[in-house]
Amino acid sequence: MNITVIGATGMVGTRLVTEATTRGHRVIAAARHPGTHPRAGAITSLALDARDPEQLAAALHGTDGAFLAVRPSLGHEHTLAPLTTGVLDAAASEGIRLVVIGGAGPLRSPDEPDRLVAEDPTFVPPAWRAIAAASTDQLRACERHPDAAWSYLSPPALLEPGRRTGTYVRGTTTLLVGPDGTSRITAEDLAVAAVDELERPGTDRHFTINELAVCR
């Protein structure tokens, strides 16, 4: 497959590029300030302002699928939903599948199903409230695009760099936690789940994952 990764220089984006190329896919690694990659044959770096419709169209043209893996800077959380809408528009125009790497905010709390994780201080401390709310708005932007081929991947409460195990547990719209209340995944294993979704889309447009070890 030919795949575009939007936000290719971030924590998740870099892992998506690695996972996809390891599986034999060709990747356009798109970012505002693209880096260099050692696997030049499989990876093409592209400078991209994802707010620009013409640049988006060029970045997605001729590809088989794309990832959106961007995180707004502090104070700019309100830009996430409009940017996502623009990417959805471009993906729909090109007729390709888009996997959005979102946030845990729009998931249901495992202890209070009527409460979103974004509103649950057990999982979202005050410092994370703005980005959690932005991720909820981002999912709503996706839901307003019913005819586009999108999936929204909500990570667990804790997402950080670590070891690739190649395993994970998949859930739907409720935050997954282990017996001890742990909800986590490494960025490497999140990339595994995301590329799995692009290669073999599941039946749920909004889904989440958790580390296999903590769910046993």
Structural domain spans, the chain: 2-215
pLDDT of residue 39: 61
- On the question of pLDDT at 24 being above 70, the answer is yes
pLDDT tens digits for range 128-170: 899 999 999 999 999 999 889 999 999 999 999 999 999 999 9
pLDDT of residue 182: 87
By C-alpha distance, which of 80, 73, 76, 75 is closest to 105? 80
Q: Which residues pair with 170 in a beta bridge?
A: 209
* CATH class in words for 2-215: alpha beta
CA 29 to CA 15: how far, in whole Å?
11
- Mean pLDDT, residues 174-181: 90
pLDDT tens digits for range 92-123: 999 999 999 999 999 999 989 999 999 999 89
Q: What are phi and psi of 107, to 5 degrees?
A: -75, 160
CA 2 to CA 193: how far, in whole Å?
18
CA 80 to CA 134: how far, in whole Å?
7
